[in-house]
Amino acid sequence: MGPFTSIAIFLTIWWTVLFAVLLWGTVTYAEAGIDKGDGGDPGAPVNPRLKEKFLITTGIAIVVFGIVWLVIWSGIVKLPRLPSGY
């Protein structure tokens, strides 16, 4: 697995994990009983804690990527190679 393939796989895993982690511990304005006023979305999170969620996402993605890399490196799953003319 080359460096570009590795980066593409890692970023795909990272974004997939991010969408799962974004929901963890989120409290909306409606759930908290806070009135957003005119034009505010009651479904918006009160405190999204994005830095924390990005760090958690990165940690989980590193572990999952490590497992994927080991499976590919061991030969259980083989990635197809493009012809050298491309």
Residue 84 has pLDDT above 80, yes or no: no
Q: Give the dihedral of Cα atoms 14, 20, 25, 30; nearest 10 deg.
A: 120
- Tell me the whole-structure pTM to 2 decimals: 0.76
pLDDT above 70 (res 85): no
Indicate the Cα dihedral angle 27, 32, 37, 39, nearest 10°.
20
Sorting pLDDT into bands at 50, 70 and 90, what band is 82? Answer: low
Percentage of the chain modeled with pLDDT above 70? 94
Report residue 61 as tokens.
């993605």
Q: What is the pLDDT of residues 58-80, one digit of tens each?
A: 999 999 999 999 998 888 887 77
What letter would DSSP give residue 28?
Answer: B
Sequence ranges of the domains in the chain:
3-74
pLDDT above 90 (res 42): no
Once rounded to an integer, what is the mean pLDDT over residues 32-53?
Answer: 87
